[in-house]
Amino acid sequence: MDIKKTILSICGLIVSTCAFAQYYIECEDTCNHIHGIDISHYQGTVFWEAVEDVSGNKIHYVYLKATEGGDNIDKRYLENINLAKHAGLKVGSYHFYRPRVDQKTQLQNFRAQCRPQDQDLVPMIDVEVTGGLSATALCDSLHKFLKLVEQEYKQKPLVYTGQNFYNKYLLGELDEYKLMVAKYSEPEPVLADERDIFAWQYTGKGHLRGVNGYVDKSMLLGRHTMREIRFVHR
């Protein structure tokens, strides 16, 4: 009898484990925040119709990696932006900034991919490496690039960075820009200069139907709304 109970218990555990593997309870399933994701070639082929169909209003925005540095182009960017827009999702593009690469060269690389007519959201600049520069030199380099992006697109970009990286290198330097801040643990991030945070990237290991493997997820904080990052077509 004990053996039979043990076998039944093991079977029950296997069934429940399999069920959990097929469906993950994520933050957006349990709260009313405005959630979004960012995607690059690391996620491989994304089934955007499944993302839109299952997520409904739970995933409000998508940022796609377009470029990095002066000559790197994300190999799935064109496919991703076309299919994500076709699926009805609000889409923006981001550039991974390399501080030692000429700013005009980086802008040309980004601009060749991130076409204004394709954008629903303002550009986002990913800042998470120093390139061996001091904090002062990094900020000088970054400011030049952000100004070029603003001049090109006629609107200020969103800046993405990590909580620790910001506190160490960018403190007090980005007051003109909205920030998306990465911190993969509770509580929500707080910056040393008490800057307002537009969005919090709260996990790099999220799950979403239509996306193989992990996906970065974020949500707007406070009273911030999607309207604030809407791409204005002039």
| pLDDT score at 58 | 81
Mean pLDDT of 29-41: 83
**Tens-digit pLDDT profile for residues 8-33:** 444 443 333 333 333 444 555 556 78
For this structure, is 52 an active site residue?
no
CA dist., res. 4 & res. 9, Å (int)? 9
**Predicted confidence band of residue 234 (pLDDT cuts 50, 70, 90):** confident
Answer for the pair 58, 32: CB distance below 8 angstroms, yes or no: no
Q: Is 175 a catalytic residue?
A: no
Q: Which of 53, 128, 176, 193 is catalytic?
A: 128
pLDDT (0 to 100) of residue 30: 53
pLDDT number for residue 31: 65
> What confidence tens digit (pLDDT) does each residue in 52-103 have?
765 555 889 999 999 999 999 999 999 999 999 999 899 999 999 999 999 9
**pLDDT value at residue 225:** 97
DSSP-derived pairing of the beta strands 35-39 and 59-68: parallel
Q: What is the mean pLDDT of the chain?
A: 88
pLDDT band for position 3 (50/70/90)? low
pLDDT value of position 25? 47
Q: Specify the pLDDT at position 33.
A: 82
Q: What is the pLDDT of residue 133?
A: 98
Within 10 angstroms of residue 106's Cβ, the number of other Cβ atoms is 25
Helices (H), 56-124: 77-86, 103-113
Listed residue (169, 170, 98, 171) closest to 131, CA to CA: 98
pLDDT at 5 over 60: no
pLDDT of residue 40: 95
pTM for the whole structure = 0.87
| Residue 216 predicted with pLDDT over 70 | yes
CA 183 – CA 51 distance, rounded (Å): 24
State the catalytic residue, choosing from 28, 38, 120, 216: 38
Residue range 130-171, pLDDT digits in tens: 999 999 999 999 999 999 999 999 999 999 999 999 999 999
Ramachandran angles phi, psi of 72, nearest 5° = -85, 125
Indicate the range of 25-34, 186-195, 215-224 predicted with least confidence. 25-34
HSE (side-chain half, CA atoms, 13 Å) at 75: 5
> Which pair of tokens denotes residue 223?
């009273």
